[in-house]
Amino acid sequence: QPNQCQHVTYNVDKKLGAFGLLKSNHQKDHNATPGTTRPLLCAWEDGFQLYDIEQNVKLSPYSQGEDVNPQKGLSRLNDGRTDVLGKRFICGGYFGGDEAIRMKVFAVEQEKSSGTLQHQAIVEDIQITNSLCFSPDGRTMYLADSPTKQIYAYDYNNSHNGEPIASNKTLLQSKEPNTLHGVPDGSCVDREGYLWNAVWRTDTNESGLVQRVDPQTGEVVFTVDIPHGTSQVSCCCFGGRNLDILFITTAAEFLDRDASNQPHAGGLYAVQLPFQGRPEARLDFSF
């Protein structure tokens, strides 16, 4: 709760891959006390659902559509983002380490008259979905399939005109293995439209980093090096009063903390930058 300078932990019963915040004025029960719920659209390991994370209460059934995780096991939903207009939540899967499994990226919408959640696949043949974010005008969607070391750009269709939601896939950036021992993880986009990508190092002896990528050329124009030898950099976002602080999450997966030379692995970093982010959209869903 940044506005209260509090650190709060919520316990849930399932694996939570991603979530989207809702606009605060879309509560159906107008007699409820304002602020008593913290509604999210949750991307669980097996589906999408509106959920009150604070009171641990389901606010909707699962979304309607195909099985988002037919393989079960270790595969699950992973990275997600609300589109710029707040119409859809875009979220894709994680293959669970099984090379034979391919996942999909889904678009979740709400049918306004009934409040029913519905999802449909918009991208297929993905191993690990990451870097989901949008250009400031909402017309470009970015997406990485991490094991391929590549970040792609898609034309994104904001309307409901029967045309594909994501189309015209083009390569934005490739992190060649002979020049960088790392894969693209989470990303965000700043006010100028540049992509900020967290690079998860596959060599744990190398410090992780965040790269600012030119959306036209794919070139890296600015780099944030993570200190303390922390290698597993997982995502980033802008915050602070002026949106000029980049918050960077890291992981300690597969690391022996006692023997590790990465004492701050799994910690949250913050760096003030000469660049500004932009506010993230909230979902225009009711509950």
Active site residues: 185
Q: Is 191 annotated as a binding residue?
A: no
Q: Is 258 annotated as a binding residue?
A: no
Q: Is 78 annotated as a binding residue?
A: yes
Q: Is 102 annotated as a binding residue?
A: no
Three-state SS string over the chain comes to CHHHCCCCCCCCCCCEEEEEEECCCCCCCCCCCCCCCCEEEEEECCEEEEEECCCCEECCCCCECCCCCCCCCCCEEEEEEECCCCCCEEEEEECCCCCCCCEEEEEEEECCCCCCEEEEEEEEEECEEEEEEECCCCCEEEEEEHHHCEEEEEEECCCCCCCCCEEEEEEEEECCCCCCCEEEEEEEECCCCCEEEEEEECCCCCCCEEEEECCCCCCEEEEEECCCCCCEEEEEEEECCCCCEEEEEECCCCCCCCCCCCCCCCCEEEEECCCCCCCCCCECCCC
Which residues carry a binding-site annotation?
76, 78, 130, 185
Bind-site residues for a divalent metal cation: 130, 185
